[in-house]
Structure 1
Amino acid sequence: MPRKKTIEYARKVFEEHGYILLETEYKSSQTLMRYRCPKHPDKESKVRLSDLKRRGLVCVYCSGFKAMKKTFEQAKKEFEDRGYELLETEYINSATYMRYRCPKHPDKELSIPLNRLMQGGTCPYCRGKEPRQYRKGVTVKKTIEYARKVFEERGYTLLETEYKTIDTPMRFQCPKHPDKENKVRLHDLTGKGVGCVYCARESSAKKRKHDIEVVREAFRVRGYELLATEYKNARTPIRFRCSHHPDKETVISYSQLQRGHGCLWCAGKGRSTFEEVKELFQQRGYELLEIQYINISTRMRYRCPKHPDKDTRITLNGFKRGEGCPYCARNVPLSFEEVKAEFDKKGYELLETEYINNSTHMRYRCPKHPEIVQKIKVDKLRVGRGCRACGYEYLTALHRKDFDEVKAAFEKKGYLLLETEYKNAGTPMRFRCPNHPDKETKISYASLAHQDSECIYCSYEKKSAENHPLWKGGITRLNVFLREYLKEWKRESLINYGFCCAITGENHPDLQIHHTEPFHIIRDQVLKELGFNKKRKRSDYTEEELKLILAELYERHDEVVGVPLRKHIHKLFHKVYGYETAMEDLYVFKARYLAGEFDDEKETKESAQLSFVL
């Protein structure tokens, strides 16, 4: 964490640059601080501490920046040199407009910033141009007379009696549309040229309007005969006749024709007669019960031959889309009795007393599994779905393997199956590998048959020593090599404690297995019993020697208890008790840890983790 700056620290930084700090307190590195330069003792400057330290900013008077600023006398002299009379009494900066008077136009009051004057700016009237009315830094007060004059220049009559602001809409009257009332802002009228909206619409329509002959030619190209003698605009429907349906007369707008629309009868959307509608119903086997046809969206009564006692209705639009009798399509709301009959048909006991709709779950009980209350939607029941437990039993029976088939699969791999019965594909089964007859391991039928798994010890051998892609000649330390082959012992230890820390009860990915009997003592005893000298690398032993060491190490670990501990707790235990420990030491440590004796150590670890993340 950066240390807090003080006034003494700031004063020291200013002194290193040769300046005298005039402040008596320090706020922050972004606060402007007054100081004095020894070369300009009569001047007082300001700078931020961060700018002084990082960017090396120097005294503004030493840099010449302050010397560039003009005084009022210098600005006045610039105007007088050009023959102008300066009307201001103070000077702010070179970008601020200053009022002045030209000797050739003494009745005009002008304004210009000093920087533009020095760049060659002159009186606009001398150049034969009207000055702009609005300039930055100059407020020109407008009056109702000024606004009225602007509107009259455009030929409009202003209807307002007072002027508010340049952005306030003002009512006016156009001479071409005296019965219409318009509104426009003075700013838009003078700056953007906005005017009467009705004149603008007429001008736009005149540009887009087509001649009647052009429209007639467009209809002729599509094979239509235009019957109208007058064309108004592109949105007005006009009558025409199609060459394929000369007895029909329809209407369409010119814009619709341009977008690709055309004869409704050619598109199959023309208005049908009652006889045509009746014939359509008869073709589907239905009897139309209406005596007149209104339009395509009106529902009409009809009778289905399969359900003559049902009252059915449909629109011609839906009928043409393929819709028909809802009872044939099973698309009619069911009654509770009908739903109950569906459940009875399957042999299920319905537990509900009312029916809402076919998407609502309904409780039921299967006679084969009466202890389970299940739920199902009516639409799912009607398409063939049912009891889940019956479905699982069916699939199990369909895919279940016989014990002889499973045994044959193990024998095909060369393994001896030690089980006498087969439960399911996911249950691990004991077997013996011919390459490791002294080892007994487990594997599920699913892993053996579908995942091509094998004996775990054969798998270790295929990936160890020179068979491993990262093999470097056996430079791995003996301790690391031996610990890698204790994975099965570590897994059993985790299972015994439910994959949780023995101290805190937490399930966490950083669990480590603590040896209640130190590993280095077990290792040394194994080497001593086998008569081998202790060596550093695994390459210092032959493969036969390593096999003997591993076999003895496995056997010794059958008597050693493994205890899962969180990584930081494991380190803390050895920090407190060392590496020559017993099971009793772990019990004492657990009591002390849970009593809060090592809370300071926990807080230190948590802050270290937080600082690493940040």
Structure 2
Amino acid sequence: MDKLTIKDMHVLASSRRGKCLSLEYLNSHSKLKWECSKGHQWEAKPSNIKSGKWCPHCSGNVPLSIQEMKDLAKIKGGKCLSNIYLNSSTKLKWQCSKGHKWEATPSNIKKGKWCPYCIGKYQSIKDMHELAKTRNGKCLSSHYINNITKLEWECSKGHHWEARPSNITSGKWCPVCAGKQLLTIEEMKKIAILRGGHCLSNQYINAKTKLKWRCSKGHIWEATPNKIKIGSWCPYCIGMYQTIHDMYKLANSRNGECLSDEFIDAKTKLKWKCSEGHTWESTPDNIKSGSWCPYCAGKYQTIYDMHNLAKSRNGKCLSSHYTNNITKLKWECSEGHQWEARPANINSGKWCPTCAGKQLLTIEEMKAIAISRGGKCLSNDYINGKTKLKWQCSEGHIWEARPRTIKAGHWCNECNNTIGENICREYFQAIFKKPFPKSYPKWLISEKGSQLELDGFNEKLRIAFEHQGIQHYSYLKHFHKSERDFQRQIKIDELKRSLCKENGVVLIEIPQINKNISLIELPLYLTQEFKKQKLRSNANIANIKVNLSRIYNIDKLKAIIDIAENKGGKCLSEQYLGSNIKLLFECSEGHQWEATPDSIKAGKWCSKCAGNFRLSFSDMENLAKIRSGEILSKEYVNALSKLKWECSKGHQWEARPNDIKRGQWCPICARKKN
């Protein structure tokens, strides 16, 4: 990328109706002086100006000073005790009119925040004592740490307890008087005795820490005091806990046996045997709920069952060994097509994928799909529709995705912002044979007076569409700043529907493609929506095919065409193949050249008009003569390869042609001047 010049900075400032007051450009991170159309002056990096930033005074983002902080404190009847201002996020020291001191960021003070002690945000042990007095009690602690560190309290009846200041300030008080006093181990033992059992623990920690219990039948278990207090008791007696003997009885009731020796819990598998001699493993829960031998129920099958199943479909099972319902076997249909599939899938009614039009794709087909989208498939082996392959889009982004998702219309997530909208536009334009550009109708105005847009709108037909992302239906943190922001989005969508209806426009809302609706489902969805809205079309929507490669690259080429037109020139290429693949351009003077989209987006244009065409050795000699000096090198390589120079005073040094061209000369003479 060619280095920018001070001339570029002047042009950039002029495009903002301002000026660049500096005379020399060093690099994109060295600040220059700028002036806006209102006469405000400030310093900023060229990279910031290039990225779209401009006058901080006009935008209200001008940095504050320590004096402004002191003035702000004075207005509030206080002081700013700091002497240095760093930035709006670095805390300064403040003092209010009552002498309270604290630290806060300038941005918070500017927003209107002030003394946290005066508003009761910060408290002291004196505040706690006063608070206790208002409840006719006492705060027995002598030191306050913070709002969540417990203090000791005493109520008017002499009950003692510990609680956080935040709980007391929120209105809570004595738990004993409120009937929420802590229980003791003695009380736990009394409850157990009343139930004919015992509490075997000797220490009570809290209501949620389990204790050990024993019922009148000798069963032992653990449970929290809270559960015991609300009436829970022995889980074995109520059939919640069981033993291996219970399992033996359960198997016997089914004329079978439980072959395991140990019962762990209701979800750990045991070994069972039915009256036919079949053995299998299953959880006690399954057996209790009525399940029994899977062989007798036809749930487990053999290779003979598979052969018979294939015969019923006029085909064959080519495998000779059956493992289980999910291990693939080899099959052949009546047409001779062969494939592998799970017994479970064949049992459920599936059969030959080739006959069904679902045959496995090949790596060649994957590469062809990628090329049709202006990209590449970087993998060399295709395994199946679920095994990810490596892909690259026209912008050079690389990612992994399943063949089936790519075939369904998915492509590069980084480029995916407008693809769904463009797919909808392609369909509407193919159906109605009319353009459906993104539009901003004069009547589509928000309640606050701002202009709203329609993703696609044909004014003559009075038909519009909106491609609605998931953020239009669900609250998403990365889309919405808050729940309120999401509700605002819903209101805007409702307003659009209402305004379209008022202005006689039929609005078709399409859920996010490849998220809420697949590319394959889109034609059917549009057909149904058109019927609902009573829209007529001569086109058979189901048979419409859209040019995917045009969709995936249309916005990128349009963006480059727009940049060229803004510069008074043209982009002569008709296809966008990638950010690093050169396109043909023509400037307003008729000069033609090739350049990458990336370089055009970075601000480069015609090198001949800019005087950036390749220099020669004779150009170097002329540059030296103009400065009354000489070039001592014998060969010119390029603008970045240093050459040897001599000034009129005989000083010699090395410098790049680019630097000499920009006005730099003898560094020894320059130092002497300074």
Same fold? TM cut 0.5: no
The structure that has the greater radius of gyration is 1
TM-score (norm 2): 0.29
- Structure number with the higher strand fraction is 1
TM-score (norm 1): 0.31
Specify which structure has the higher proportion of helix.
Answer: 1
